[in-house]
Amino acid sequence: METRELRYFVAVAEELHFGRAARRLGIAQPPLSRAIAGLERRLDAALLERGGRGIALTGAGAVLLREARAALDAVEAA
């Protein structure tokens, strides 16, 4: 897993909106959606529940968010 993927996931998890997360990251929304879908495939776990009224974290997504924040903090501290 790359730090880029972790940053992407954290942004989506915090914003709970792909468009806002993409703007925050300075990228287009389609590549962000593809990156998150690829991450879910590789982890073989749904990280987000996608619905008509937005998105929400799954249990696995909440765990990954906590771990991703810790990993990114460690990278920044190094």
Report the largest interatomic distance among the alpha carbons of the chain, rounded to a whole angstrom: 40
CA-CA distances (angstroms) from residue 10 to 56, 57, 75?
Answer: 13, 11, 14
Check residue 53 and give its pLDDT. 80
Check residue 41 and give its pLDDT. 97
Helices (H), the chain: 3-15, 18-25, 29-43, 59-77
Check residue 55 and give its pLDDT. 94
pTM over 0.85: yes
Domain CATH for 41: 1.10.10.10
Q: How many domains does the chain have?
A: 1
For residue 36, give its domain range: 3-77
Helix 18-25 to helix 29-43 angle, to the nearest 10 degrees?
Answer: 110
Check residue 71 and give its pLDDT. 96
pLDDT digits 0-9 by tens, 8-44? 999 999 999 999 999 999 999 999 999 999 999 999 9
Model confidence at 51: pLDDT above 90 = no
